[in-house]
């Protein structure tokens, strides 16, 4: 039997970054799972501006991706979206976003920790990130499994950052095997995205002609 949701920790903030190209039901389920499992008061979706791990890849304009996230999270009082990376020039490094959010909260915001929400494949790439040690110092990690990828285990963090191995929590789910690249390919082929992304996002994609004849090799 599943455990009930954790008590909400006042001031706690989950940060969930990605290209969200498009945002889909697995993104939303992961954010909800993290919020309930860790008692996060808010989860902030952060669409990437210029993803440093995708050089040479064409990404849908930020304003479209931001609009789709806004539509997807409408009605969930715990979810918000930020344009912090869209408005910042240069590569969208997670460490810069976390530092900016931490500084803002220290000056104006509530007390409470920051939790970076990410999937297992992103977690396993952490040592290659820009300033990964500082990422772990600024935020705890909430790591979700991702089917089709290696399992994330605590020993991995201990091997690379032994003094910060306690900075990660490993979620049991959700295990929804879905990628934005699959959705873009479906849209390009004229296939329906219904039940894979929120209805309002389906309508936005259609109204704005997104992903027509668009095939890319990234798997986000």
pLDDT in tens, the chain (220 residues): 567 899 999 999 999 999 999 999 999 999 999 999 999 999 999 999 977 766 667 899 999 999 999 999 999 999 999 999 999 988 889 999 999 999 988 877 666 799 999 999 999 999 999 999 999 999 999 999 987 777 888 899 999 999 999 999 999 988 888 999 999 999 999 999 999 999 999 999 999 999 987 555 455 5
Please give the torsion angle defined by the CA atoms of residues 207, 25, 66 and 217, in that order, rounded to the nearest 10 degrees.
-80
Considering the domain boundaries, does residue 195 fall inside one? no
pLDDT, residue 218, reads 53
Considering the domain boundaries, does residue 162 fall inside one? yes
Give the CATH number for residue 92: 3.40.50.620
Residue 168: its H or E element: strand 168-170
At residue 169, what are phi and psi to the nearest 5 degrees?
-120, 135
Considering the domain boundaries, does residue 205 fall inside one? no
Name the domain count of the chain. 1
Of the candidates 29, 18, 101, the residue with the CA atom closest to the CA atom of residue 65: 18
Considering the domain boundaries, does residue 182 fall inside one? no
pLDDT, residue 3, reads 78
pLDDT, residue 40, reads 97
pLDDT, residue 72, reads 98
- Cα(175)–Cα(172) distance, integer angstroms: 8
The string of pLDDT tens digits covering residues 9-26 is 999 999 999 999 999 999
Q: Are 209 and 80 in contact (CB under 8 A)?
A: no
Read off the tokens for 97: 């976003």
Dihedral class, residue 213 (left if φ above 0, else alpha if ψ from -120 to 50, else beta): left
DSSP 100: H
Considering the domain boundaries, does residue 106 fall inside one? yes
Considering the domain boundaries, does residue 191 fall inside one? no
Residue range of the domain that includes 157: 9-177
- Cα(123)–Cα(117) distance, integer angstroms: 9
Considering the domain boundaries, does residue 188 fall inside one? no
Considering the domain boundaries, does residue 190 fall inside one? no
């Amino acid at each position: 039997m599943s455990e009930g949701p954790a008590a909400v920790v006042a001031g706690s903030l989950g940060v969930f970054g990605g290209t969200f190209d498009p945002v889909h039901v697995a993104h939303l389920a992961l954010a909800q799972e993290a919020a309930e499992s860790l008692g996060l008061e808010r989860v902030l979706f952060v669409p990437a501006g210029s993803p440093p791990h995708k050089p040479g890849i064409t990404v849908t304009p930020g304003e479209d991706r931001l609009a789709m996230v806004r539509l997807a999270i409408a009605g969930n009082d715990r979810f918000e979206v930020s344009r912090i990376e869209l408005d910042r020039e240069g590569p969208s490094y997670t460490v810069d976003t976390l530092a900016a959010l931490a500084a803002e909260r220290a000056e104006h915001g509530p007390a409470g920790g920051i939790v970076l929400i990410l999937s297992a494949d992103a977690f396993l790439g952490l040592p290659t990130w820009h300033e990964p040690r500082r990422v772990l110092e600024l935020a705890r990690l909430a790591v979700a499994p991702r089917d089709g990828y290696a399992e994330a285990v605590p020993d991995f963090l201990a091997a690379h950052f032994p003094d910060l191995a306690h900075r990660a929590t490993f979620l049991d789910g959700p295990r929804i095997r879905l990628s934005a690249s699959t959705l873009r390919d479906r849209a390009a082929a004229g296939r329906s995205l219904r039940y894979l992304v929120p209805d309002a996002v389906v309508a936005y994609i259609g109204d704005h002609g997104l992903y027509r004849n668009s095939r890319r090799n990234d798997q986000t």
